[in-house]
């Protein structure tokens, strides 16, 4: 018998895939807006949200959520960290943080693929691999705006400790949710 609703990722009905993508984009937006006092720079929960969405939803739905988030930002919705104060839309995306946004887009399916079926350590390793991709694209783009001697100080070293803490928390959340789901099934 053929289902009445079209299916999408993992055999889910299309409406459910869209709901997951929208919920993931909303979670990423909330993560970008939440600021926590941290040393040496304030920290957002952007990376945490992206890691949770990527590992939790998998490569396809995670990418759909990230694409939805970036699409909303490109259209001028204030979804990014520091918007609307630091600009909106494509102008923001082409600014100094644009490479990090591109890195998140590429890291999401990587994390989702590598984290699939893994325990805490495997998920954390997948998230670190994705984070390395984000930093590579982010720093390459940031080099257009910041002189080389100051590049690592501006775009890497202040964020590494916070991002590693977010990876640990994201791996804990996703592996805990997976464990709970397995117990309830």
Does residue 57 contact residue 25 with C-beta atoms inside 8 Å? no
Residues 6 or more apart whose CB falls under 8 angstroms from that of 51 comprise 111, 127, 130, 131, 166, 167, 170, 171, 174
Q: Is it the case that residue 146 has pLDDT exceeding 60?
A: yes
What does the pLDDT read at residue 18?
A: 94
Instruction: Look up tokens 């040496």; give the residue.
Output: 40
Mean pLDDT calculated for residue range 3-30: 80
- Cα–Cα distance for residue pair 70/101, rounded to 1 Å: 8
Over the stretch 40-49, which tens digit does the pLDDT of each residue have?
677 999 999 9
Distance of CA 16 to the CA centre of its chain: 20
Segments making up each domain of the chain, as ranges:
9-178
**Residues in the chain, overall count:** 185
User: 9-178 has which CATH code?
Assistant: 1.10.1760.20
Which helix H or strand E contains 181, and what residues bound it? helix 157-184
57-113 pLDDT tens trace: 999 999 999 999 999 999 999 999 988 988 899 999 999 999 999 999 999 999 999
Helix, strand, or coil (residue 7): strand
- What share of the chain has pLDDT > 90, as a percent? 79
Q: What's the pLDDT tens digit per position in 154-175?
A: 999 999 999 999 999 999 999 9
Q: What is the pTM of this model?
A: 0.89
For residue 6, the model assigns a pLDDT of 45
User: By percentage, how much of the chain surpasses pLDDT 70?
Assistant: 92
């Amino acid at each position: 018998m053929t289902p009445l609703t079209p299916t999408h990722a993992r055999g889910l009905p299309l409406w459910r895939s869209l709901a997951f993508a929208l919920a993931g984009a909303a979670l990423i937006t909330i993560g970008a807006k939440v600021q926590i006092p941290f040393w040496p720079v304030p920290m957002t929960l952007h990376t945490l949200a992206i890691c949770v969405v990527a590992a939790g939803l998998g490569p396809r739905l995670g990418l759909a959520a990230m694409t939805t988030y970036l699409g909303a930002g490109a259209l001028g919705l204030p979804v990014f960290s520091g918007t609307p104060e630091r600009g909106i839309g494509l102008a923001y995306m082409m600014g100094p943080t644009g490479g990090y946004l591109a890195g998140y887009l590429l890291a999401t399916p990587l994390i989702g693929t590598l984290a699939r079926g893994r325990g805490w350590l495997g998920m954390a390793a997948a998230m670190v691999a994705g984070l390395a991709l984000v930093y590579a694209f982010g720093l390459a783009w940031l080099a257009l705006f910041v002189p080389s001697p100051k590049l690592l100080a501006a775009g890497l070293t202040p964020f590494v400790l916070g991002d590693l803490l977010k990876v640990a928390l994201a791996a804990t959340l996703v592996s805990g949710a997976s464990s709970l789901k397995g117990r309830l099934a």
